Amino acid sequence: MDQYKSEEFLTSVIEELQRIKSYWNERLKIAAANSIEERTAKKAIILCGDAVNTFNNLIEYIQNHNEQEIMAHCKKLRSYWNQQQHDFGYHQLQMNEPLSTLITIYELIIDSIENMEIVTDRMIPKNDE
């Protein structure tokens, strides 16, 4: 596996998450107390922080494991984040809070993990080749 390209990709995802987190930190500073936007901003900041940790850990993981192990790890991560998105969506719909910002962050996380799976899978030698 081209570890450098994988790390470069994950680093760009982390940078994007940090940019989003910074944006919501700024929005939080100007949000009115107890407003929906304040709750959304706080959730977005926490979500981005958790995702940055996930991708930092994934960079470390790909440095120390082979392609099959990375694939298995990505599948677990994708399952975890899909479940988080599902749980989040249910609770948020009950609260009737705008979802677009947070769903976009979840989609970035899940799509990035899926991209890592695709790239890693391409690096695994196939028996029929």
Does residue 128 belong to any structural domain of this protein? no
Residue 39 covered by a domain: yes
Task: For residue 116, tell me if it sits in a domain.
Answer: yes
Q: Is residue 99 part of a domain?
A: yes
Using one digit for the tens of pLDDT, what is the confidence trace for 74-115? Answer: 999 999 998 888 877 655 555 555 566 777 888 899 999 999
Contacts of 50 (CB under 8 A, 6+ apart): none
Q: Which domain holds residue 101?
A: 3-123
Residue 27 lies in a domain: yes
pTM comes to 0.78
Asked, for residue 65, whether it belongs to a domain, the answer is yes
What the block records as the tokens of 48 is 């981005």
Spatial CB neighbours of 120, under 8 Å, sequence gap ≥ 6: 1, 6, 67, 70, 71, 74
pLDDT in tens, 46-73: 989 999 999 999 999 988 988 889 989 9
How many domains does the chain fold into? 1
